[in-house]
């Protein structure tokens, strides 16, 4: 039992986001309490003043209003001092005319260790991790990218919106939603778990309540 507990060195999907006090460019914050009642995306980057990370921060900022419209905040992180974050923000504003409005964590390595952001096989800097946390402080999505690959922020936006719709309607979201190759912008009704429900699915589809390819693949428009 002890060995199993040791193996789980980082939070997993469905876990509560660990309570951490962090120094940020917006001052001291306690996570996840600082975003109580809101979703948030915590994303790590390898280092300030690096080219791929600079493109990512500009991309996140340009979509910040769209995240906020989903009741979702952004917070960055790297193992750099807060002074470095501030100077890098200034450089981005002066040279790219983009003002970074979300906070950036100045990590000493404690947060990176707790969240599993340093992968020895990819060097000593934090990888490009993404943690999507819901309004109850539960981790819903975890993504990892190597240092050499910048993230697709539109996909992260899509994922947040899709999870919120899934939660609100008790449905699942198809691949590439809302542009799925089979069912377009429809959502998926979770598969039946018993014979009675499976039969009812077919009957309900005949009445036009939703559409089914079979009892286990039914979908509807929201």
Please give the helix or strand (H or E) that residue 95 lies within, else none. helix 82-96
Could you list the active site residues? 53
- What gap in Å lies between CA 148 and CA 122, rounded to an integer? 10
Those residues with Cβ within 8 angstroms of residue 23's Cβ, 6 or more apart along the chain or in another chain? 82, 105, 106
Those residues with Cβ within 8 angstroms of residue 47's Cβ, 6 or more apart along the chain or in another chain? 53, 78, 79, 80, 125
Contact by Cβ (8 Å): 32, 133: yes
- φ, ψ of residue 45 in degrees (nearest 5): -135, 155
């Amino acid at each position: 039992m002890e060995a199993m507990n040791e193996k789980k060195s980082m939070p997993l999907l469905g876990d509560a986001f660990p309570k951490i006090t962090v120094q940020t460019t917006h001052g001291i914050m306690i996570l996840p309490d600082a975003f109580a009642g809101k979703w948030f995306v915590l994303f790590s980057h390898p280092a300030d003043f690096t080219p791929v990370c600079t493109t990512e921060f500009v991309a996140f900022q340009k979509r910040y209003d769209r995240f906020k419209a989903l009741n979702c905040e952004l917070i960055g992180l790297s193992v750099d001092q807060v002074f470095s974050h501030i100077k890098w923000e200034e450089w981005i504003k002066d040279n790219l005319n983009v003002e970074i409005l979300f906070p950036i964590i100045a990590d000493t390595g404690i947060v990176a260790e707790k969240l599993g952001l340093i992968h020895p096989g990819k060097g000593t800097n934090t990888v490009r991790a993404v943690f999507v946390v819901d309004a109850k402080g539960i981790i819903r999505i975890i993504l990892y990218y190597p240092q050499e690959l910048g993230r697709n922020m539109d996909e992260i936006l899509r994922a947040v919106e899709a999870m919120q719709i899934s939660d609100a309607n008790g449905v699942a979201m198809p691949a590439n939603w809302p542009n799925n190759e089979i069912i377009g912008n429809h959502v998926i009704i979770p598969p039946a778990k018993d014979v009675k429900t499976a039969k009812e699915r077919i009957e309900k589809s005949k009445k036009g309540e939703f559409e089914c390819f079979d009892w286990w693949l039914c979908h509807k428009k929201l």
